[in-house]
Amino acid sequence: MKTSNGFSLSRWWSMVLKEFLQLRRDRLTFGMIIGIPIAQLVLFDFAINNDPRHLATAVISADHSEFTRSFVAAMESSEYFDIVGTLPDEEAGRSALASGNVQFVVNIPAGFTGRLLRGERPALLIEADATDPAATGMALAAAGQLARTVAAKDMTGTLSFLAGGQDPFEVRVHRLYNPEGITRYNIIPGLIGVILCMTMVLMTGLAITRERERGTMENILAMPVSPFEVMTGKLIPYIDIGLIQITIILVAARFMFRVPCAGSIGMVYGAALLFVLANLTVGIAMSSLARNQLQAMQMTLFYFLPNIILSGFMFPFQGMPKWAQAVGNVLPLTYFNRLIRGIFLKDNLFQDLWPNIWPLMVFTLIVMVIALTFYRRTLD
């Protein structure tokens, strides 16, 4: 059947059928067509929560009374705070905040109850890890209302005069590491990881599949080199590219966005180098599985999507459900975000960073073994 302009409906339908057949044969592409929308729906609907609750909180209490216990119980009842333990002093509290073990430290001073009963409006202190303002804002707002909750519950009868008028005691808040709550101080360091994650995996995957498509892989096979030498030799240029990207971002962060770096630039490069290696090994593994460059790009997208959503870069990690946190704890970007923000905002030392360094090292080694295994099969 032809129209006046020479269009053939049968030929057109043949091309449509041919394209559907190619899609059906390409199982990875077909899987991406179905998998990516489902993954996006699940991640954005179930895993994202901008009002995080049950945040880890430690207590330093030099005064033990019915009122202090009532305040701590009110914090837990608010659902914003989970009391995970007590600490001996302020130094231990700062250490717990610096390492990221807790989000808040409540400090109840000695003589608090005596001053409260005398009507002197004593103050207790809540120190918060404010590196991510979105993770602490709602919780701190709720903490400011807890004094009234304690007054209504415990200050009755002869103590009712304390509950009238002003709050019977003051809840002071110290936002540490980012006291002004400037969002870019949190976002710009995280962008280093996002950019490296996307570019390193994509470039490595495309580079090796490109060799296969162009037929130059046969030339490599003819060379007297081992699979390990081939793999590591192809990685070195991309390590250099990653370091160049880091330098560009650091210069832009300092002079364009005015983001200060409280820690050592050398530690920034060290953490970034480990993260680059982790992502390059992922790229090698994907390139060994992908048949062509299109599949390599699809696999990169499928890897990048959960990294950016479940790592704590876009949304507070503490606000995600437990299953999403479990997935996020497998992803290298999660640990790099904690490392880079700890260096930029907290001036973390090596002992503070180590809990996030060793998972990256283990991830890199495991994926490198997997990548080398798949790459050997490719060469064979």
* Domain boundaries along the sequence of the chain: 55-176, 183-379
How confident is the model at residue 314, as a pLDDT?
82
How confident is the model at residue 93, as a pLDDT?
92
Largest CA distance in the chain: 99
How confident is the model at residue 159, as a pLDDT?
63
How confident is the model at residue 321, as a pLDDT?
85
Show the low-confidence residues of the chain (pLDDT under 70). Answer: 1-5, 28, 151-152, 154-165, 217-218, 221, 375-380
Contact 61, 108 (CB under 8 A): yes
How confident is the model at residue 277, as a pLDDT?
93
How confident is the model at residue 363, as a pLDDT?
95
How confident is the model at residue 274, as a pLDDT?
95
How confident is the model at residue 360, as a pLDDT?
95
Taking alpha carbons only, the member of 218, 34, 55, 64 closest to residue 140 is 55
pTM over 0.75: yes
The residues, any chain, with a CB within 8 Å of residue 189's CB and separated by 6 or more, are: 253, 259, 337, 340, 341, 343, 344, 345
How confident is the model at residue 158, as a pLDDT?
58
Q: State the Cα–Cα distance between residues 334 and 337, nearest whole angstrom.
A: 5
How confident is the model at residue 293, as a pLDDT?
82
DSSP character at residue 2: B
How confident is the model at residue 2, as a pLDDT?
47
**Range 55-176 classified under CATH 1.20.210.10:** no
How confident is the model at residue 246, as a pLDDT?
92
